[in-house]
């Protein structure tokens, strides 16, 4: 596609349920990032994938959060046993191998998660 695609755009779930958020990066982009945007908290880094290297998981807030990237393309962020504090907009971004060195990221429109 022309841009980074995320689904679902909106997700409402009950506390304790598991959710999966999907990101389809720009074709050919080797770097993929997940960020979380909460009101008043800015953008919080969650995880970074680059090619076949081990992902940087340093931003995942707890072991309920995990992410994978299959075939170097599509990524899924999974949140297990969701809590109300997980409510946020989850943003995915990708960049090419070259601009990964300088940081120009292309963002999707996000998945808004609401945990009741």
Which residues lie near another protein (CB under 8 A)?
Answer: 4, 31, 33, 35, 40-43, 45, 48, 50, 53, 56, 58-59, 91, 93, 100-110
Q: 53 or 62: whose CB is closer to another protein?
A: 53
Residue whose structure tokens are 């309920």: 64
CA distances from 13 to 3, 20, 22, 31, 68 (A): 27, 11, 16, 29, 21
**What's phi and psi for 99, nearest 5 deg?**
-75, -10
Cβ count within 10 A of residue 39: 8
Q: 48 or 65: whose CB is closer to another protein?
A: 48
Helix (H, G, I), strand (E, B) or coil at 96: coil
Q: 46 or 115: whose CB is closer to another protein?
A: 46
Q: Cβ 45 to another protein, closest distance in Å?
A: 5
Q: Cβ 19 to another protein, closest distance in Å?
A: 20
Q: Cβ 81 to another protein, closest distance in Å?
A: 26
Q: 82 or 108: whose CB is closer to another protein?
A: 108
Cα dihedral 21, 40, 44, 101 sign: positive
Q: Cβ 14 to another protein, closest distance in Å?
A: 26
Helix (H, G, I), strand (E, B) or coil at 52: coil
């Amino acid at each position: 596609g022309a841009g980074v695609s995320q689904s679902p755009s909106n997700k409402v779930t009950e506390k304790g349920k598991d959710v999966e958020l999907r990101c389809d990066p720009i074709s050919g982009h080797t770097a993929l990032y997940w960020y979380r945007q909460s009101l008043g908290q800015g953008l919080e880094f969650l995880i970074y994938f680059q090619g076949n290297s081990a992902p940087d998981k340093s931003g995942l807030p707890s072991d309920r959060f995990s992410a994978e990237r299959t075939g170097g393309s599509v990524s899924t962020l999974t949140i297990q046993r969701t809590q109300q504090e997980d409510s946020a907009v989850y943003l995915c971004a990708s960049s090419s191998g070259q601009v990964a060195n300088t940081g120009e990221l292309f963002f999707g429109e996000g998945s808004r998660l609401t945990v009741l």
